[in-house]
Each structure stands twice: as C-alpha cells, then as structure tokens.
Structure 1
C-alpha cells in the first residue's frame, strides 16, 4: 500500500518550522520535503510521529474519509417524555 500524504501534510505544517520537526521528532528536513512533494512515503512509525506532531489522526494524513451519514438511534424503548427530552436536546445541538 502506498502512503500518500502530500495533499494533507503542507496544510498542517504551515505553523511548524522544519527545525522543530527535525529536533523533536527526528524526522529530517529533506524527508519532510520529499513527503510533501510525494517523492517518498513515510514509514508507519514516521506517519505516527507526524500525526502526533500535528495533533491529527493518521487517517487524516492518509486522506481516509468516512461517510458522514446521519446517525441512527433506536428509540423504541423510550417513553413519550424521554422522546420529548431527546428531541429537545437534538434541537439545541442543531
């Protein structure tokens, strides 16, 4: 499997100088540039380090997108009052 993070890494690296990446996470400046240019893919260990550095999931860096279908909740066991409370909470969160 090819790991392609070139579309996502530059967006997150904007506020982080490469020197911080090199010093703290021991990822070379040339490696970060190569990842951004899609010339090489990081190892799994490096991918985890990058995710930790930028406070994102590895899924984000990999471009994994999950469908955002509406959540389904089984309310068959709730009484009328509980359903009303639940609906009020949903309305508040909209």
Structure 2
C-alpha cells in the first residue's frame, strides 16, 4: 500500500477534518487515525471500507492510489477530457500550459492545492459576472 498514509492525509485535509475528527467519526480513540497516516499501523479491511465511504472514494483508490483499469482508457474519463479540450479550444487557447503534463511534476502538494483553490475562486467570480 505505497503512499497509503499520504493519500489518507490528502483526503482528510481536502475534507477539512482533523486527525481527531476522523478518529472519532470512526469510533476510535484520538490517536488511532494518526497512526494510519504515519503508516505505523495498518487499518483492518472494515476500517478501510469506512474510510473509503467517509471520503467518497473507491477502495482501489484508497489502497492502490488509482482506480481499477480493466482497459487502458476509460471512455467516460476520455469523453470528459475531450469536452474540456473542446471548451478550451473554443476560448482560443490552443496549447494550454496547465495541460502540459511535464509541468505538473515540479509542483508539490501545496502548489496543486493553490491551483485548485484559485480555479474554484475564478469559477465562482465568473458565475457572478454573468
């Protein structure tokens, strides 16, 4: 379960919970959840299922860090990406910098968090402009 603790930490922060919050939501003492994030302890399968439900993610994502892929390309995800590219092209951007995968490798968690928050703010602002 490579990077399991990091995935837990990212999901917890994304949902705005403290470690104590999650421990209590799962019915544990205050320090148990933190030991999962530090990877000092491994949760039971029952606990992993509860965590997946709490964060709204699949077991595959929580355990393996990626969704199960019986085929190389999932059609729904491909269609969504194609729709996004069509919107961007219609707006006159033909080589969007933010879609160049090699640029993402230099970003850390905080950089990506900042990008996500900025995008959310820009969308919010645009809704009120119209």
TM-score by length of structure 2 reads 0.46
Q: Is the 8 A contact 1:47 1:58 kept in 2?
A: yes
Give the CA RMSD over aligned residues.
2.9
The higher-RCO structure (CA 8 Å, 6+ apart) is: 1
Aligned residues: 75
- 1:22 to 1:36, Cα distance in 2 relative to 1, 3 A: closer
Q: Which has the larger radius of gyration?
A: 1
Taking the aligned partners of 2:32 and 2:60, their CA distance within structure 1 comes to 20
> Which is further off, 21-30 or 42-51?
21-30
Structure 2 matches for 1:80-91, cutoff 5 A?
none
Structure with a larger share of its residues in helix? 2
Q: Is the 8 A contact 1:8 1:63 kept in 2?
A: no
Which ranges in structure 2 are unaligned for 5 or more consecutive residues? 86-130
Q: CA deviation at 1:16?
A: 1.5
For residues 18-70 of structure 1, the C-alpha deviation after alignment (integer angstroms, 9 at most, x for no partner) is: 34323332133311110010101000111111111111111111125345623
Which ranges in structure 1 are unaligned for 5 or more consecutive residues? 73-88
Q: Is the 8 A contact 1:35 1:41 kept in 2?
A: yes
1:13 is matched with 12
TM-score by length of structure 1 reads 0.60
